[in-house]
Amino acid sequence: MRVITDFFTKGAFWDTIAMFYQYAVFIYGTSLLMCYGLLAMMSLANIRRYQKKNANVDYNIIVESPLAPGISVIAPAFNEGVTIISNVRSLLTFNYPKYEVIIINDGSTDDTLDKLIVEFEMVEVEYAYREKLNCKPVKRIFRSTNPAYDKLSVVDKVNGKSKADASNAGVNISAFDYYLCTDVDCILDKDTLIKLIKPFMDEETSTTKEINGDIQIQEDYKRVIASGATLRMVNSCDVDEGLMIRVRPPRRFLPRFQEMEYIRAYCLGKMGWDLINAVPNVSGGLGMFDKEISIKAGGYDSLSFAEDMDLVTRMGAYMKDNKKKYSVKYVPITLCWTEGPTTLKVFGRQRSRWGRGLAQLMNTHRKILFNPRYGRMGLIVFPYHFFYELFAPVIEFLGILFYVYLILTNQINWPYAIILIVFVYTYSVMITTMALLWDQITFKYYTTWGETIGLCLMAFLEPFIYHPLIVWFALKGYWDFVLGRKHVWGNMQRQGLGAQKKITVSAAILLKDFLNNPKRADSLYMSKSIEVTGTVFDVDKTPDGKPMIYLQTGDNIGGVQCLFTRNANINKGQDVTIKGICSAYSLEGVVVKDCSLVK
């Protein structure tokens, strides 16, 4: 008995605990670094495979095909009055033949709904609403009286205190078999729908196999249930009327760190998981889903704080429970830019919610962990997130406390400690820098290499500034989960995208610029909102009855054609100023679309 007592009271017990902890952390850290390295190699290989596979794809075939599947674009909005108009315009500019845009006003207390009604000429309509997924009551549904916005619907509903509840309402009124869920503050690439629907159209439906000398076709249907793409920060980018004009790294520190984090996560994370068909989630900011499977899986969970990963998890579990093969696909190109938090308060609230959501997810779906019935999800995805995502902040925090204890008790081996710290620090910087450089070499989103190098320098500061914040807010989220504290979908306090420099040009100068230097004119005007001044020399209508006018240019080689979205009282010989989007140039002249009469 005395031996046992001495073991616990004279330090032998604590020495054993300390030794065990050191070995456990060493094994944990080594395995984590190996996983990061393996994911990086798989991601790079998968990106190269994606490029090779899609190098000669003609996406115009999808755009021009009458068989292209319809897509519903669903964007919940809560107190987004600062950015709502420009962002909805962005959603209405997709290069795709068959889609609808559904904005869910989730009980906003600001002027979000009023702005939508006025800007897009909305009126309340009767709608045969059928509730397939649970959500708070829908009060009204609006459609535009302007044919230019016939793709747009606005749903006004009681606040559901979560994005998930609002998204379910959008799914309930959606008309098509696939839906894209995004945040209304996001700026999306005009080819987003084409790029995200393609994995669904490439579904593996059959394989060939030789049996006794005969070639036989065997059904091996692997259904794509979701697809996603890379996200970046829209902060500091040049955006005009909801269109991305120029991509820039954020200037402010917090969004700049987030840009670096996002690129690393998508380029060296999601694409690696995609290679082995083990994508853990599709971002809530940009994800396309198979509506049938989504509804059968129960849709979004309004009580979840990680609604994006929760939905993909339940869709995957539904497929496995019904013995059906499935895949979740990722494309490595950036299709979405979102406004990142610029204040520590808002950033902390966001990351605490993410941490709480991860803890909640692991608890809710704990039956999947280590369960071979759920295939890769149960044996790879969940174990990885359990040990290396959920536990990582806890182990890091305990490790810091242990280091402090060793220092205070003079037990630390400084030479080995310094070597270990330098190695981990260098490895972290290397992984991040490799992701940023690979992204720029491959896709060239930034105009100058100086912008890329400037972003790479953030990797040297991350371990001292950004990463400790991530750990702290994750732990706070875990603590909130344990205590069961209430949390609601708060206002992210959007800063807006800023006013863009107004471009005013005469019709004659506009045409002359395109004739003399098409490349320069393309960068100055194309896809931008411009105001064109001139004298009307002809008034006509498009085949679908919309007004169309031609402005004099003083040149016999072409003119400026303005296509209006609504009726305008304009006569020949009238001096006008027209606002619209410069959309095309040919030998016949310049085309300006979505026009409205300024004066």
**CATH number where 529 lies:** 2.40.50.140
Span 481-506, average pLDDT: 67
Sign of CA dihedral 93, 99, 100, 101: negative
Inside any domain, residue 485: no
Which of 174, 166, 257 lies closest to 469, judged by CA? Answer: 257
Contact 244, 339 (CB under 8 A): no
Per-residue pLDDT at 557: 59
- Is 552 domain-assigned? yes
In a domain, 354, yes or no: yes
Please indicate, yes or no, whether residues 384 and 515 belong to a single structural domain of this protein. Answer: no
> What pLDDT score does 256 carry?
95
- Among 373, 396, 419, identify where a domain stops: 396
Domain-embedded: residue 6: no
pTM for the predicted model, two decimal places: 0.80
Indicate whether 387 and 534 sit together in one domain: no
**Residue 349 predicted with pLDDT over 70:** yes
Mean pLDDT of the chain: 87
Q: What's residue 555's pLDDT?
A: 60
Give the C-alpha distances (Å, rounded to integers) separating 137 from 112, 141, 160: 19, 12, 9
3-state helix, strand, coil in the chain (%, to 5): 45, 25, 30
Q: What is the domain extent for residue 528?
A: 503-597
Residue 489 pLDDT: 53
pLDDT band at 464; cut points 50, 70, 90 = very high
In a domain, 33, yes or no: no
In a domain, 453, yes or no: no
Residues 390 and 507 in one domain: no
Let me know whether 203 and 345 are in one domain. Answer: yes
Is residue 512 domain-shared with residue 389, that is, in the same domain?
Answer: no
Find the mean pLDDT for residues 83-112. 88
Assess whether pLDDT exceeds 90 at residue 373.
Answer: yes
Sign of the C-alpha dihedral computed for residues 564, 570, 572 and 573 taken in this order? negative
Residue 487 has pLDDT above 70, yes or no: no
Helix crossing, 414-443 with 449-461: angle to 10°? 160
Domain membership flag for residue 10: no
Residue with tokens 């619209």: 580
CA distances from 226 to 135, 292, 331 (A): 22, 11, 11
pLDDT at 494 over 70: no
Please tell me the predicted confidence (pLDDT) of residue 8: 47
Give the residue from 396, 421, 445 where a domain finishes: 396
Overall domain count for the chain: 2
Measured CA distances, 457 to 37, 140, 230, 463, 488 (Å): 21, 50, 21, 12, 36
- Residue 71 CA to residue 77 CA, distance in Å, equals 19
pLDDT at 85 over 80: yes
How far out from the chain centre does Cα 370 lie? 29
pLDDT of residue 505: 87
Which CATH number belongs to the domain containing residue 375 in this structure? 3.90.550.10
- Are 186 and 333 in the same domain? yes
Report the percentage of the chain scoring pLDDT > 70: 90
Q: 157-199, pLDDT tens digit by residue? A: 999 888 899 999 999 999 999 999 998 888 898 899 999 999 9
Domain end marker among 365, 396, 427: 396
* Alpha-carbon distances, residue 22 vs 257, 389, 392, 409, 477 (angstroms): 31, 20, 15, 16, 27
Using 50, 70 and 90 to split pLDDT, how confident is the model at 495?
low
Is the CA virtual torsion 575, 581, 584, 585 positive or negative?
positive
Within a domain: 241: yes
The tokens for 363 are 């608890």
Percentage of the chain beyond pLDDT 90 is 50
